[in-house]
Amino acid sequence: MNRSRKSNPHISGPAISPPAITGRETAADLVDQAFLAYNGARLREAARLLTERMLEEDVTVALSITGALTPAGLGMSALIPLIEAGFVDWIVSTGANLYHDTHFGIGLSMHRGHFQADDVALREQGVVRIYDVFFDYSVLLDTDAFFREVIAGPEFQRTMSTAEFHYLCGKFVRAREEALGIGRRSLLAAAYEFGVPIYTSSPGDSSIGMNVAAKALEGNRLQFDINADVNETAAIVWDAKAGGGKSAVWVLGGGSPKNFLLQTEPQIQEVLGIAEKGHDYFMAVTDARPDTGGLSGATPAEAVSWGKIDPDKLPDTVICYCDSTIALPLLTAYALARHAPRRQRRLYDRRADLMKRLKQAYHEVGRAKQGAGNK
């Protein structure tokens, strides 16, 4: 077989010829120069997708968070800097990440331990373990007490979306940070300051929800409005797209937050009957396999079949099979090094207007309009 190498499209990519690592490289330099193949290359592709496409001014960026990231300190080291730089516009998180995040904001501590510790001995000594993160059992009790005191306040005696609940909680956590003089340590507090709405797809599935349930036994009137969560998140995406912009999703892990973030497009298209094509950019970090049928490993190509991802934008999707505790710090460092801060969208402040726009579209061009025409 006599074929010219120059004409073969399969070997037209850049030659693999990296410079030697010197130890003086920045994290961003290392990603660009040494992450050339396998999942290292996928992480480099994710970093470039983030900085070259997802962080354009007309893109609204959503982040979903699963896994115990905040107990490992990644709220302080990565998530808060991303919010401060305007790189994350809205969030869907497990309740557990927000609960453990609160420890830091109210002056409690978590410590590095070892994953091979004797758990029976830890229990006897009042130590709780999240893999290799250790903390005193009193941290749970003190955080529970904080939330019970907060939600007993008059502003919580009503039904609200989880975004509103987290915003109000963030206000109190920020006040505690200021009183303690400890600086910005809580993701909840940072989201409150910068108007970044945080939703929880399963609000009862965490110690925060457990304390809300306990207070209900005393007559507390706080209730979570799940309908508002579904419609508000869809409204954020609809407004971004209807206004001529784009929607990007950044997934850390998978599970319910991933689906809740992605289902915004089926809510718009399938349920509300409003014409749309799907999210424009998809970037995921996961260690789950796709062939088991689990949501955490579901690929962007699979999401196309649900209308979650615009099929024309599949080239602008990356899935990196890597531990989030490795990928998130590197992606954060890369983004901060390669892209200037963006304006703060403060989507939390715009929730009422976004809902008004979605409702108007539903009644003017969506299923409500279609149903009225069939009567």
Residues annotated as catalytic (active site), given as ranges: 308
- One-letter identity of residue 284: A
Strand pairing of 127-130 and 133-136? Answer: antiparallel
Strand pairing of 198-199 and 159-160? Answer: unpaired
Helix (H) or strand (E) holding 144: helix 137-151
Q: What is the dihedral of CA 254, 256, 262, 266, to 10 degrees?
A: 140
Strand pairing of 159-160 and 59-65? Answer: unpaired
Q: How far apart are CA 49 and CA 353, in angstroms?
A: 30
Q: How far apart are CA 124 and CA 372, in angstroms?
A: 65
CA 57 to mean position of chain CA atoms: 19
Strand pairing of 111-112 and 133-136? Answer: antiparallel
Q: How far apart are CA 194 and CA 167, in angstroms?
A: 10
Is residue 208 a contact partner of residue 95, using CB atoms and an 8 Å limit?
yes
Classify 283 as helix, strand or coil.
Answer: strand
